[in-house]
Chain A
């Protein structure tokens, strides 16, 4: 199911603003969209001491790579769909090839290679500079139209509103 979706620089800018700026966890990790194409996404997480998993070596925790790959996979799926819809990760398998190198940024390149009526299939690689020298690879499946709620907000206004709603719920002693 190929999508006729054309990625423009404006679209990438919008994704940077909405999909990343308004996903609290992505923001907390300093995640950013580097590039995008139909069915494909490139995201990065800059090196940060607070993300270290082994205090002796300074190597980033595998969980950061999981978050980066999961988010990048989700965006690749969104970029493969003919229309906006809610998606949910069904499963994600990650293989760790080598430890990340301290002080270097992490990059993930993901590719949604098949979309069916209900499921999207995606794979990805996490690396520093050379994609052929991977830190980790992943393969995942996403459920399409996963729930009856709205999809991820697609305008900055909608995203801001969703965040305000969340803050309000929290204040209400939820």
Chain B
């Protein structure tokens, strides 16, 4: 990104997504670094006995983290569409805030490959990691819609 272009406001973009608001995801944007924050709430629990965050919530959070990073690096376009996502669950998600960072490993013309990681208190002990492919342009959608 060149110095004279203003960094896009990813938090505003995310707050416009009803589901991101429903989960309680906000964006901590510092310079060119994006950290997503999943604010803990009771409704994110999947196993009340442990208790642990729902696996689907962690997957959704990682997907949103990847989308936020893509939206930041390719501002102006439409929201990228997920093609496929693989989630590795590494530790159970405790009932506290969760943080996420994503990195674009390969950027093609139509498809970007992204890795994302989520952690809680200690960044060196991630609770989950994901890698996925995202379609950058809606015109190239594989489904004949």
Contact = CB atoms under 8 A, between A and B. Distances in A.
Interface stretch (B4-12, B44-52, B68-76, B115-123): B44-52
B49 A170 contact: no
A70 B54 contact: yes
Contacts, number: 160
B66 to A, nearest CB: 10
Contacts of B16: 55
B60 A63 contact: yes
Contacts of A61: 17, 19-20, 60
B77 to A, nearest CB: 13
A93 B48 contact: no
A119 to B, nearest CB: 13
A99 B85 contact: no
Contacts of B45: 23-25, 166
A35 interface: no
A174 B59 CA distance: 24
A149 B49 contact: yes
A149 B57 contact: no
Given A23-B54, A63-B64, A166-B95, A52 B18 contact: yes
Interface in A132-160: 147, 149-153, 159
**How many residues of A sit at the interface, in one of the four size bands?**
35 or more
Interface stretch (B26-34, B86-94, B103-111): B86-94
Nearest to A94: B85
**How many residues of B sit at the interface, in one of the four size bands?**
35 or more
B42 A166 contact: yes
A147 B92 contact: yes
A68 interface: yes
A111 B97 CA distance: 33
A96 interface: yes
B62 to A, nearest CB: 9
A89 B55 contact: yes
A172 B143 CA distance: 50
B112 interface: no
A90 interface: yes
A63 B56 contact: yes
Contact of A95 (B19, B42, B84): B84
Nearest to B52: A88
Given A66-B56, A67-B56, A174-B95, A23 B46 contact: yes
Interface of A: 22-28, 49-55, 60-64, 66-71, 74, 88-99, 147, 149-153, 159, 162-163, 165-167, 169-170, 174
